[in-house]
């Protein structure tokens, strides 16, 4: 991904009729997505990238569950 690779955060963009929607997903399910220094830095870098991305209109913050078959839980969203 052009924005870089993060160990503890995933960025996913929706396309088609949901174009402009970008997911920022905390990806530390083995620690129940608890904050760590690495997660803090990854979140800051990911949100900086999203803020400067002209294609992003809405950001949805979510958390990855330990069981990958479960859906991502939405924590918050904001629009630009």
Q: What is the pLDDT of residues 37-77, one digit of tens each?
A: 999 999 999 999 999 999 999 888 888 776 656 556 666 55
Of 50, 4, 1, 3, the residue nearest 24 (C-alpha)? 50
**Predicted local distance difference test score (pLDDT) of residue 48:** 93
Query: Which CATH number goes with the domain that contains 24?
Result: 3.30.300
Identify the domain containing residue 51 by its residue range: 9-79
Can you say whether residue 69 is alpha, beta or left, with left for phi > 0 and alpha for psi between -120 and 50 degrees?
Answer: alpha
The answer, yes or no, to whether residue 16 has pLDDT greater than 50, is: yes
Asked whether residue 75 is domain-assigned, the answer is yes
The answer, yes or no, to whether residue 1 has pLDDT greater than 90, is: no
Report how many domains make up the chain: 1
């Amino acid at each position: 991904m052009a924005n870089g690779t993060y160990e503890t955060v995933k960025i996913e963009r929706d396309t088609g009729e949901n174009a402009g929607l970008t997911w920022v997903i905390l990806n530390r399910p083995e620690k129940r997505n608890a904050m760590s220094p690495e997660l803090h830095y990854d979140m800051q870098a990911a949100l900086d990238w999203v803020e400067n991305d002209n294609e992003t209109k809405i950001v949805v913050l979510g958390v990855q569950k330990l069981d990958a078959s479960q859906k991502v839980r939405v924590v918050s969203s904001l629009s630009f």
